[in-house]
């Protein structure tokens, strides 16, 4: 059962942003950006906003892990501004057969997977449809892992904070799998950094992470990550490679 967030977050004097007190991980947001759309010019601007919120990690031993493809421009800006190394955590939604954006679960290149049983029942997905969509997503993440990470060894995550970044959270399935994968890889401290998120999805992620930074939290029945951005487009794999090649 989802644990609702308090309607009126408390303000801590040492932080320049609001901290939503929960029984799990703290959720940091910017009160002036709540419930607003079009607050970021693009993903780089969103990364700059997050970098200010994450300033205490500047020059530390933390590592920024981007979820491709959309999370890479956000994460690259964070890593650049905080002088931190950038790496990739390849995770993908398991998409509904008739929709190229919405999913009913997620899977990582490590094989970590989560399926939303509620969505499966609601949409009436049978075993064949689930298996086909899962196989497609598994092939995608394995191909992307080879393309983006190659044979590069994983960093040691046990003794350093991991800042995991995407361009938004809608249902939260991608981050569920991302955090589980990082835990299995030995990460002891996981900080979620995401420009925008749906209010109802954050408590679930807060039960898994150690901290969450999300400047733009929105509620309501209708939610789209893209609406937080003035300029939105699908990030190509070529653009991901170009970003990773930059010093």
**What is residue 167's predicted lDDT score, i.e. its pLDDT?**
97
Confidence bin at 185 (pLDDT 50/70/90): very high
Is the predicted pLDDT of residue 84 greater than 80, yes or no?
yes
CATH, domain range 24-38+53-195+210-218: 3.40.50
Which residue ranges make up each domain of the chain? Answer: 24-38+53-195+210-218
CB–CB of 205/198 below 8 Å?
A: no
Q: Read off the pLDDT of residues 93-121 as tens digits, 9 standing for 90 and up.
A: 998 887 767 788 999 999 999 998 998 99
Task: Give the tens place of pLDDT for each residue, 49-71.
Answer: 999 999 999 999 999 999 999 99
What Cα–Cα distance (Å) separates residue 107 from each residue in 44, 60, 189, 200, 230? 26, 30, 21, 21, 29
pTM for the predicted model, two decimal places: 0.88
For the segment 4-32, what is each residue's pLDDT rounded down to a tens digit? 333 333 333 334 555 555 567 899 999 99
pLDDT of residue 237 exceeding 70, the answer is yes
| Eight-state DSSP code of residue 31 | G
**pLDDT recorded at residue 246:** 84
User: Which structure tokens are listed for 199?
Assistant: 């209010």
pLDDT digits (tens, 9 = 90+) for 141-166: 999 999 998 888 999 999 899 999 99
Cβ atoms within 10 Å of 227's Cβ, excluding its own: 17
CB 142 within 8 A of CB 109: yes
- Taking CA atoms, 47 is separated from 70, 78, 215, in Å, by 12, 5, 10
* CA separation, residue 232 to residues 21, 70, 227 (Å): 31, 10, 8
Rg (C-alpha) for the chain, rounded Å, is 17
- From the list 7, 54, 16, 10, the residue with the least C-alpha distance to 35 is 7
Give the residue from 99, 88, 166, 165 showing the smallest Cα distance to 133: 99
């Amino acid at each position: 059962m989802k644990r609702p967030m308090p309607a009126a977050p408390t303000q801590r004097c040492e932080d320049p942003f609001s901290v939503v007190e929960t029984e799990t991980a703290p959720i940091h947001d910017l009160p002036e950006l709540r419930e607003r759309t079009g607050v970021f010019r693009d993903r780089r601007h969103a990364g700059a906003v997050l970098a200010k919120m994450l300033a205490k990690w500047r020059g530390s031993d933390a590592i920024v892990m981007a979820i491709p493809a959309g999370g890479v421009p956000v994460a690259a800006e964070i890593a650049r501004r905080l002088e931190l190394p950038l790496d990739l955590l390849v995770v993908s939604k398991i998409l509904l057969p008739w929709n190229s954006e919405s999913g009913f679960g997620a899977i990582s290149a490590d094989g970590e997977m989560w399926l939303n049983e509620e969505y499966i029942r609601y949409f009436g997905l049978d075993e064949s449809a689930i298996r086909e969509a899962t196989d497609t997503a598994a092939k995608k993440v394995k191909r992307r892992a080879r393309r983006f990470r190659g044979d590069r060894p994983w960093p040691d995550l046990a003794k350093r904070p991991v800042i995991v970044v995407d361009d938004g959270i809608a249902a939260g399935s991608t981050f569920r799998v991302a955090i589980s994968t990082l835990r299995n890889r030995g990460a002891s401290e996981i900080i979620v950094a995401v420009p925008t998120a749906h209010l109802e999805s954050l408590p679930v992620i807060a039960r898994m992470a150690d901290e969450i930074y999300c400047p733009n939290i929105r509620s309501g029945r209708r939610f789209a990550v893209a609406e937080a951005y003035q300029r939105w487009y699908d990030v190509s794999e070529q653009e991901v490679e170009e970003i990773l090649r930059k010093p």
